[in-house]
Chains A and B, each alone.
Chain A
Amino acid sequence: MLLKKYEPRIGLYELTLRCNMNCIHCGSSAGRKRTNELTTEEWNNVTTQLANLNCKEITLLGGEPFLRKDWYKISTEIKDYGIKITYMSNGFLINENTIEKLRKIEPKVVSISIDGAKKETHDKIRQTKGSYEKCIQVISNLKKAGINTTVITSVNKLNFQELPELKAMLLNKGIVWQLQIAIPLGRFKKELLLSKEEFYAVAIFIASTRKKYSIKELPIIGTHCFGYYSKKLRNVMIFPWNGCQAGISTIGIQSNGEVKGCLCLPPEFIEGNIRDNSISEIWQKPGFCSYNRDFKLSDLNNNCIDCKYGKKCRGGCLGVSIGITGKTNGDTYCLKAIEETM
């Protein structure tokens, strides 16, 4: 019965916590790998279990997923089950050999992070010299190889002013541009968080760019953390916000086998380990992701209390809410709330 209602359609694999960069906004504080990370066989077993639970798409991320030597083996197993694959990478390690393998995998999309229009800004945020030039080259190579490519920009105070310049760079390149706000989780310092005015300005930027340019010229989107239920702006996301999907349609698996509803959530949201229980047992366990499955209106916090969208929205993105306010179910970076208070 429960499985019918909640299916882990999206699987998020933190293949490794190891990373070759040291980004200032990294929510996972990636760098060194976790002790006792899953083996190839264990990841493949996870894939088999998710395929049996009707999983449709798996995202491989990290750390840096391409640092794992077995990324291709793990990807092949996913592909063999007919599950779509997406990658989230910093791009630095993607060479001709990687691209050749990626072509065989035929991923839905490969997402590469670009965090500034100027190389100084990007390299400063990523704390890796030469990463900007390398990543721009990789994006170009991926496009040439016919692989769907998305550029992800995490917006903070350091790169906020460079968005118009980035827009000019990405125009007519056939690359999807995804904007998200950097959230004070992991390494990210709160003083670099956008103000609510800046946040709203980015939302205007996305909505106006989408109106001004065709999909072919510049497909631009804001992620789910980019505002809910605006009464003034055209939709900044593609789909209307329908509440956090952790434990509803999404499951996150850390590189040591620990399971959370979504990988962006902090460690206190770990609810099992695939080495101790099967994914099915964890997914069906009473109380799994209770913050979403057993949500009550009285759980709402901050500006979300008494909001008429509360039942559907459940207080926005849980990760953003916790990162910014320390409380669940009350994301203060809400377009509707900002419109009502300014």
Chain B
Amino acid sequence: MKKNKIYELGKMLGISNTDTRAALLKNRNKIVASIVIVIAIMIGKMWFQPLHYTGASIEDFIFLTRLL
């Protein structure tokens, strides 16, 4: 998919090109996210679960923010 198509789809919900650009992945983020997840699993703070049913506790976000 070309970036222009992504911008076009973002406009369906009124998202500006700048905001859509912010949603695009950067390789640096992949590396940071991988390290965080590996550490979280190693220290037993994270395990995978289907969020569809559990909802998401705000605690999950606080935990991730603290690590980042």
Given known contacts A233-B24, A234-B29, A342-B1, is B54 in contact with A204 (CB within 8 Å)? no
Q: Which residues of A are found within 8 Å of B25, using beta-carbon distances?
A: 230-234
Contact of B56 among A198, A202, A207, A238 (CB under 8 A): A238
**Do A224 and B52 touch (CB < 8 A)?**
yes
Name the one of A152, A204, A244 contacting B15, with C-beta atoms under 8 angstroms.
A204
Closest A residue by C-beta to B25: A234
Check A240 against B23 for contact (C-beta < 8 Å): no
Segment of A40-48, A117-125, A215-223 engaged in the interface with chain B:
A215-223
Query: A204-230: which have CB < 8 Å to B?
Result: 204-205, 207-208, 210-212, 215, 219, 221, 223-225, 230
Q: A215-B62, A231-B25, A235-B33 are in contact. Are A109 and B56 (CB under 8 A)?
A: yes
Q: Contacts A12-B53, A111-B55, A262-B50 given: A240-B12 contact, CB under 8 Å?
A: no
CB B67 to nearest CB in A, in angstroms, measures 12
Q: Is the CB of B50 within 8 A of A245?
A: yes
CB–CB A176/B52 < 8 A: no
Q: What 0/1 pattern do residues 1 to 38 of B give for CB contact below 8 A with A?
A: 10001100110111100011011110001000100010
Contact of A10 among B20, B29, B46, B49 (CB under 8 A): B49
A150 contacts partner chain B, Cβ-Cβ < 8 Å = yes
Binary per-residue interface labels of chain A (229-264) against chain B in the complex, 1 for a CB within 8 Å, 0 otherwise:
011111101111010110001100000000000111
> Main SS of the interface on chain B?
helix
B59 touches A148 (CB 8 A): yes
Check: B58 CB closer than 8 A to any chain A CB.
yes
Interface size class of B (residues with CB under 8 A): 35 or more
**B15 neighbours in A (Cβ, 8 Å):** 201, 204-205, 208
A221 partner residues in chain B, CB cutoff 8 A: 51, 56
Residue in chain A with minimal CB distance to B5: A342
Residue A114 lies at the interface, judged by CB distance under 8 Å to chain B: no
CA A338 to CA B61, docked complex, whole Å? 28
In the assembled complex, A197 has its CB within 8 A of some CB on chain B: yes
- Pairs across A and B, CB under 8 Å, 12 listed: A86-B55, A150-B56, A160-B13, A164-B14, A178-B51, A200-B6, A205-B10, A211-B22, A224-B50, A224-B52, A235-B33, A245-B49
- 7 smallest CB-CB distances across A and B, nearest first, come from A207-B23, A208-B23, A111-B55, A150-B55, A211-B22, A201-B12, A339-B1
Interface, chain B (partner A; CB < 8 A):
1, 5-6, 9-10, 12-15, 19-20, 22-25, 29, 33, 37, 46-62, 64-65
Known: A200-B6, A204-B10, A232-B6. 10 other contacts (CB 8 A): A57-B49, A86-B53, A201-B9, A204-B13, A208-B10, A212-B22, A221-B56, A233-B25, A239-B51, A342-B5
- Interface on A for B, CB 8 Å cutoff? 9-10, 12, 57, 59, 61, 86, 88, 108-111, 148, 150, 152, 160-161, 163-164, 174, 176, 178, 180, 197-198, 200-202, 204-205, 207-208, 210-212, 215, 219, 221, 223-225, 230-235, 237-240, 242, 244-245, 249-250, 262-264, 317, 338-340, 342
